[in-house]
Structure 1
């Protein structure tokens, strides 16, 4: 049995479709602000593997709620990883491109120097460090710009805005790889299974959709997929201030993920067609 922390998030919802026999722990079953209780759940349920698909992902809100963000993104994953290590089972933990500072224009490899620009990134990096320190079979999977038909994400925001506007300004100097939540979920399952037989593959990996694009380019693709005529004007990050600083370069080098687990970068354009169709159908 696979134990998944998270129930309502984008990746957790996709995991529920791919692994219906897994056990999912939402806020009602596991308080991520209580790291010890999360660890006890692993010891009590004795799963074959643990996937942590939960997290404090409100990037701007984390600037004011750093204590809660650290509890959820760092302390809880560390306790989970230690409990999984004590049981000798694989632990797969989701992380983010925001652990990097976004300098340059080359893709970041898993071993590149980190340098978060905001509280969210710092708490996620602390969570990574805690997972590694636990010493058990583990994989930290960094991803970026996740989207799906569930939860809150960029695609849903663009479609909502398109209902009342025929022109939008969208940041064009931040570049990264939009990533389908379904692809992240499938990767988590593949990695967990791989670690069962090859714990030596433990480490940090990247998964991001291809090809890389800007938020402006992604917005334009959303409107094309949805058949909406919306003019998208580019704007710089400097001209669109937010409480939390964002990295300009979120490109991720995913080569080691392919070598270790046979997982290729998903083409986000194909998934975008399916996601927009599903969202429009639901209206």
Structure 2
């Protein structure tokens, strides 16, 4: 286990380094003077522009700037926002709980809806339940989540007035954002789990277990589901990263003060240090999630654990 984690971390280091380089180059490759872009709209004097250039280290060589940038990252310093007048790490930290609540709620919706629907489709292929599950998966994959969000607002907030459309408030304010972000994810889980279960039920060991008189529930709980869900775990883990990306549009539509909404506002304000910090933070989340997915896959599948020690 420790050896496997070590290998995965070593593989992730070059990826993380590449992300850091790309994020660093964002500020240097955009047209114009980055200091003037940061101060855009403030009618800054040439002296103020020169001061900001010095504070941002733009009056040094690229190699020196990169060294300072990496050194700050190693200390947990994601930069300073000249628009918000605070550290980027503090701005992200204050908004991260809202995004995590939204992503966690959307994940719960996806699992609660997607797993039972996928099991129904995989256990009885060709049945009415399977057709409904397949139809749901196709519809869920075809409908963009931001369009679904507007439909949900129109129906439940405007027409029926059952749920609020904007803000954070109590649990009711979380229902529509979680549904709009989680139903598409549920469709993916349904499709993958259905296919995995159909494949597992055709394996020789399942056929032998059925011939021994095991009930449908015993076959599902002891053999089929565990092997099928291990194949779906990778997709679930990768989609968790996509939930963070989907939260950008969802938070803007529903007016939630999360990282996604903050990123959009800073793009509009051309706050490049904040944009750099948020992009790097999301990229690190993707890398960490991929490592956790590989570990969970091995814990569920003995064949993967055996490969770890090979």
- For normalisation by structure 2, the TM-score amounts to 0.23
With a CA cutoff of 8 Å and minimum separation of 6, indicate the structure with the bigger relative contact order: 2
Choose 1 or 2 for highest CA Rg.
Answer: 2
